Structure 1
Amino acid sequence: RKNKYIRRHYNNLRKRFQKAKKPKAVVKINNKEQRIMKDIDHKLSREIVNTAKAHDISVIKLERLQNIRSTTRTSRKNNHSLHTWSFYRLATFIEYKAKLAGIEVEYVDPAYTSQICPICGRIQHAKDRNYTCRCGYQTHRDLLGAINICNSTEYIGNRYTA
């Protein structure tokens, strides 16, 4: 939410400066926004690695989100947030900080991670943010994805390739 707010705020500032025909101000705003977002990615990656160290985790698993911009359904509402999402930068920050901490990073296939029931293995689309399976299992869709990524045995690699 914080990232969304910052993106929206700086987008509005850019619009205002563009209407006022102030290109230097637009560039300055862009640079400031990028520095803020990079700082947030650094802090988030540090928090993830520190949490893994605190719980004696030896492997961090991430989804390999290659070609996500071309493979997902797009809409005008989600288009901007999808194309400004810095998943590659965050993944590389997690990689190098985990390596320094002696933690391995593995990438798994993201296909159906938020649709497969971890109890019975049935594929079912989640309605809204909640996932309910016919077997009675219920959870939040993001938590379901995290559980399935954690339990995943389909190993793709340990390097993110752009």
Structure 2
Amino acid sequence: MSINSITGAIGRMLAAMRKFVTERVKIAGRWITRLVAVPATPVMPNAGVAAEAKADLSAKTDNTHAAIRRVGGKLVQGHGLTADDLEGITPQMLRWLRVLDKPALCRVLCADEQQLRAHLRSIALIKGVCRYEAETITAMEATKRKAAVPEGRKTLREVLAEKGIHP
């Protein structure tokens, strides 16, 4: 073995280690980002005089978008909803927001009013967010329910009911 072949082998090993370490650091970074990254609820700017100039229809849609952002922010953070939070939210909107996972809720919160309006009307969908249609929401609820309780396992409510204890 010559010194050149040994030096070459050490160089190839160091190059491979650099790539290996870089890949592992990127994977760890993505994992930590998924665990930690939850955006704060966006603050709606005070429109002031411009809000008075808007028509009733646009004011209603603004209230709807603000309500969606308010409820979506509470759901992302895992907080309970109060009656005040649900003001301006239709039952279908609430079902739709509850069926979304955290990344999809974050996309809804980060979308501007035009993107959100287009998504709600199924004109231009927000990537990674399920459609705002009754059939899609029902299908997503069924999928979520199916994933929540594996087959063969009973819920706590069912076990308590079998033992004669009613919560």
TM normalised by structure 2 equals 0.24
More helix by share: 2
- Bigger strand share: 1
- Higher relative contact order, structure no. (Cα contacts within 8 Å, ≥ 6 residues apart): 1
**Rg bigger for which structure?**
2
